[in-house]
Chains A and B, each alone.
Chain A
Amino acid sequence: MATQAHTGDEHHDEEVHISPHSTYYWVFGALVVLTILTVWTAGMDLGPLNDVVALGIAFTKASLVVLFFMHVKYSSRLIQLIVVGSVAWLAIMFGLTMIDYVSREMVGVDPEAVPNPYERFEMPAADSGHGGDHGGGDHGGDAAHAEASAGDDSH
């Protein structure tokens, strides 16, 4: 998978880098194989590892597309910085958002004082169209729902 005569990565991006056809073909092959792999592994029960595997494969595919189809491997440092920067900002958005969501209980926020994100999706109790809605909620039931109704009462 050596790519053409331009050896080394640090030629001064003055010239257009033209990849040989073979580069596109092997990247295509790799993407197809990885797609099959992700479908195959999704059928296994790996617990939390399912997400790790699926995202690992997705990031590998994404890297192939970015590096070889979008030519970032041969782009200027400035372009490479924009790519890395975009991913970094995305990580900040995910990270800070999730820090909020996962830490609410840890820091002692009263769950009933936190707005239930589903409130707008849930019709008030009147919506009992789904048949047998009463019965013992033995199996952990649905905490969020209980919170929502509790919240409604206190308003």
Chain B
Amino acid sequence: MGSHASGVLAHHFHSISQQRAAHSLGMWLFMAQEIMFFGGLFTAYVVYRALNPLDFAVASSELDAVLGGVNTLVLIASSVTMALAVKYAQLGKKNMIVLFLIFTFLFASTFLVIKYFEYSAKFEHHTVPGYDFDFHVPADVIQKFELSPERIATMEKRAEVFFSIYFAMTGLHGLHVFIGMCLIIWLIFPAMKNKFNVDYHSPVENFGLYWHFVDLVWIFLFPLLYLLGRNIH
């Protein structure tokens, strides 16, 4: 068990390890809430896709799977740098904590920059729901599935449902990335003042949990949103 001499034990805890367990428990309960928060959107996705599998696949094939894939790798890399930042916090290595928090911050901003380019392309191509939405079913799809004019017309409307879900899910996820970047800045200052050590590193550790959760959500969003229509053309 850690020493009590470091002055980081709050008076209402019995020991350092109990304090750490309580911090961790609180964060995990928050994570459970986050899972249900995104879960509602995933449920919407599941229901609407189950009702219109082909429409979703066609709309999905409009997304840029290369950018989505690169962003997947960027987030995975940021998860590794974050995991290492937590490790250095556990060891109390001040400079390494700061360095790896900065790495994580840079990967996070890379993710949002790529996201920005993706979103602007959507505005240019009129695939933003409620904003001059104008989706056209590609000719090869019409031919392959022998779509009637009525079917094409509804598919073009269903595409708006897909893009609504796309923007809701990636938007909420992007907001989490942005909040994560703010929290990294918030963590860098105490890290520079050498506040984290073997006995007290819960803020870094708990932020790490949040950051890995952001990565987790994307692990599911990438195949479910970007890769659906890869085999229909």
A complexed with B: yes
Q: Are A130 and B32 in contact (CB under 8 A)?
A: no
Given the known inter-chain contacts A54-B223, A55-B223, A132-B149, please indicate yes or no for A86 contacting B76, CB distance below 8 A: no
In this complex, how many residues of chain A approach chain B with their Cβ under 8 Å: the count is: 69
- Contact at A82–B32, with CB atoms within 8 Å? yes
8 A Cβ contacts from A34-70 to B: 35, 38-39, 42-46, 50, 54-55, 57-58, 61-62, 65-66, 68-70
Evaluate contact between B69 and A39: CB separation under 8 angstroms: yes
Q: Point out the residue from B42, B76, B148, B220 that lies within 8 Å of A31, measured CB to CB.
A: B76
* Complex contacts, B156 vs chain A, CB 8 Å: 130
Cβ–Cβ < 8 Å partners of A70 in chain B: 208-209, 212-213
A121 near B46 with CB under 8 A, answer no
- With A65-B215, A65-B216, A69-B212 known as contacts, the answer to whether A138 contacts B148 (CB < 8 A) is yes
Across the two chains, which residue of chain A brings its CB closest to B232? Answer: A45
Q: Produce 1/0 per residue, B49-68, CB < 8 A to A.
A: 01100000000000001000
Contact at A141–B150, with CB atoms within 8 Å? yes
Chain B residues positioned under 8 Å from A144 (CB to CB): 51, 154
- Beta-carbon contact of A65 and B79 below 8 Å: yes
A85 to B203, CA, bound (A): 24
- The CB with the most chain A CB atoms within 10 A, among B42, B72, B146, B158, is that of B72
A135 contacts B149, C-beta separation under 8 Å: yes
Q: Are B153 and A97 in contact (CB under 8 A)?
A: no
Interface-centre pick from A28, A75, A131 (highest chain B CB count, 10 A): A28
| In the complex, B3 has a CB within 8 A of chain A | no
B: number of interface residues (CB 8 Å): 66
Return B25 CB to nearest CB of chain A, in Å: 7
Which of the candidate stretches B84-92, B114-122, B177-185 sits at the interface with the other chain? B84-92
A107 at the interface (CB under 8 A from B): no
B36 contacts chain A at the CB level, 8 A cutoff: yes
Q: Which residues of B contact A46 (CB under 8 A)?
A: 231
Does A94 lie within 8 Å of B46, measured CB to CB? yes
A93→B31 CA distance, assembly (Å): 17
B35 at the interface (CB under 8 A from A): yes
* With known contacts A14-B17, A18-B91, A145-B150, A65–B198 Cβ distance under 8 A: no
Interface residues of B in 139-165 (CB under 8 A from A): 145-154, 156-158, 160-161
A55 to B220, CA, bound (A): 8
Q: Is the CB of B47 within 8 A of A133?
A: no
Q: How many angstroms from the CA of A151 to the CA of B159 in the assembled complex?
A: 22
Cβ of B227 within 8 Å of any chain A Cβ, yes or no, is: yes
Those 6 A-B pairs whose CB atoms lie nearest each other, nearest first: A42-B227, A42-B230, A54-B223, A142-B154, A86-B32, A45-B231
Chain A to chain B contacts (Cβ below 8 Å), 6 pairs = A39-B65, A57-B223, A58-B222, A89-B32, A94-B42, A136-B148
By a beta-carbon cutoff of 8 Å, the part of chain B in contact with chain A is: 1, 17, 20-21, 24-25, 28-29, 31-32, 35-36, 39-40, 42-43, 46-48, 50-51, 65, 69, 72-73, 76-77, 79-80, 82-84, 87, 90-91, 145-154, 156-158, 160-161, 198, 208-209, 212-213, 215-216, 219-220, 222-224, 227-228, 230-231
Given contacts A18-B87, A42-B228, A85-B32, list 16 more A-B pairs with CB under 8 A: A39-B69, A42-B230, A43-B230, A54-B223, A54-B227, A69-B83, A70-B209, A82-B28, A101-B51, A118-B158, A121-B160, A130-B153, A135-B148, A137-B150, A137-B151, A145-B154
